[in-house]
Amino acid sequence: MIHRTETWLRAVAFPAAWLASLLFHDRLLALPTLCLWKRVTGFECYGCGMGRALVAAFNGDLAGAWHQHRLVFVAIACLSFVCVESVQELRATEG
């Protein structure tokens, strides 16, 4: 039962993040950073900007997404793969 719940969460996480980005674009960009490294040192880590880049990409601003974080398209490809794989796994267990 837990495995099926985890699979459902993986299947809906990417579309839910996309929808939240579309609905709450300005609010998401106004949030403060959650990066502990940046808060302590003032310098950005290798992951800093990925959240802003995903929000920009989900809203169609591909150039802005690239500017925020250069690996954003790799992250989107990985998230898409996990989502599609989870949906296929759910379809296989139902049939």
Distances, alpha carbon 41 to alpha carbons 27, 38, 57, 69, in Å: 25, 5, 28, 20
Q: By residue range, what is the domain housing residue 57?
A: 2-94
Distance CA 69, CA 82 (A): 21
pLDDT tens, per residue, the chain with 95 residues: 668 788 888 888 888 888 988 888 888 888 888 889 988 998 988 888 898 899 999 999 999 999 999 999 999 999 999 999 999 988 888 76
Q: What pLDDT was estimated at residue 4?
A: 79
pTM of the prediction?
A: 0.79
3-state secondary structure at position 59: coil
Number of domains present in the structure of the chain? 1
Token pair listed for 61? 């601003």
Q: What pLDDT was estimated at residue 95?
A: 63
